[in-house]
Amino acid sequence: MSKHLLILLLILLSFNLFAEEDFPELEDFWVRAAPPGSMMQAAYGTLTNNTEEDFILIDAYSPAFKMTELHKSVVEDGVAKMIHQPKLVIKAGEQLVFKPGSYHVMLMHPVIKFGVGDSIKINLVYKDGDDKKVQEIWFPIERK
Ligand SMILES: [Cu+2]
C-alpha cells in the first residue's frame, strides 16, 4: 500500500469516528458563579440537534460535584419549585434551552473549589438504544 493511500484511509477513518460521536451542538454554555460555601449551582446553555436522529438526554454528571440532576424551574400557584427531569427529548432539528427560570443542570455539593475564570467538566448522558453515550463539555464559570 502506498504511503498516500494509507494517509487517505486514516483520514477517512478518523472522519468516520467523529461521525459516530455526533452530538447536539452546545452554545452559550456557562455555570453561574456562586458565593463560597454554596451547595447548589446551575449550568445553562443551548443544545441544538443538527443531526438526523432524535436525542434523549437522561442524566448529567460532573467530577466537580457529588450530585447532578436535570431540572426545570416552574411556578405553581405562586410557588417556585424545581422539578427533576428524568428524560428530555431533543428531536432532529430542534433545540433545548437551559436558562435561568427554566431548564438547567443542577449541580449540588461541590467537591473542589473553583471560581470565575475556571471551567468545570459536565458530562451529558444520552440514551443510546439499550446503552448510553456521553458528551463531555467544559463549562466556564461566569458571573452574569
Ligand atoms: Cu434545580
- 60-73 pLDDT tens trace: 999 999 999 999 99
Asked, for residue 125, whether it belongs to a domain, the answer is: yes
| Environment of ion ligand 1 (residues, CB < 5 A) | 71, 82, 106
- pLDDT tens string 85-120: 999 999 999 999 999 999 999 999 999 999 999 999
Q: State how far the Cα of 136 lies from the Cα of 144, in Å rounded to an integer.
A: 23
Is 1 part of any domain?
Answer: no
Report which of 122, 111, 105 is spatially closest to residue 43, judged by C-alpha positions: 105
Residue 113 maps to which CATH number?
2.60.40.1890
pLDDT over threshold 80, residue 20: no
Say which DSSP state 132 is in.
Answer: E
User: What tens digit of pLDDT does each residue of 128-137 get?
Assistant: 999 999 999 9
Residue 35 pLDDT level (bands cut at 50, 70, 90): confident
- Start-end of H helices in the chain: 3-20
Confidence band of 36 (pLDDT split at 50, 70, 90) = confident
**Domain for residue 110, yes or no?**
yes
pTM for this one? 0.82
Could you tell me if residue 8 is inside a domain? Answer: no
Q: How far is the CA of 71 from the centre of ligand 1 (A)?
A: 5
**CA 40 to ligand 1 center in whole angstroms:** 8
List the domain range (segments joined by +) for residue 57. Answer: 23-142
Q: Judge whether 61 and 70 are in contact, CB under 8 Å.
A: no
pLDDT one-digit tens code per residue, 44-60:
999 999 999 999 999 99
* Residue 3 placed within a domain: no
pLDDT over 90 (residue 75): yes
10 found inside a domain: no
Ligand 1 center–CA 130 separation, angstroms: 27
Residue 124 lies in a domain: yes
Q: Is the pLDDT of residue 28 over 80?
A: yes
Residue 114 CA, ligand 1 centroid: distance in Å? 20
How many structural domains comprise the chain? 1
E strands of 1-144, at which residues? 25-32, 40-48, 55-61, 65-76, 79-84, 88-90, 95-98, 103-110, 119-128, 131-142
Q: What is the amino acid identity at position 129?
A: G
Q: Which three cell numbers stand for residue 119?
A: 471551567
Residue 12 lies in a domain: no
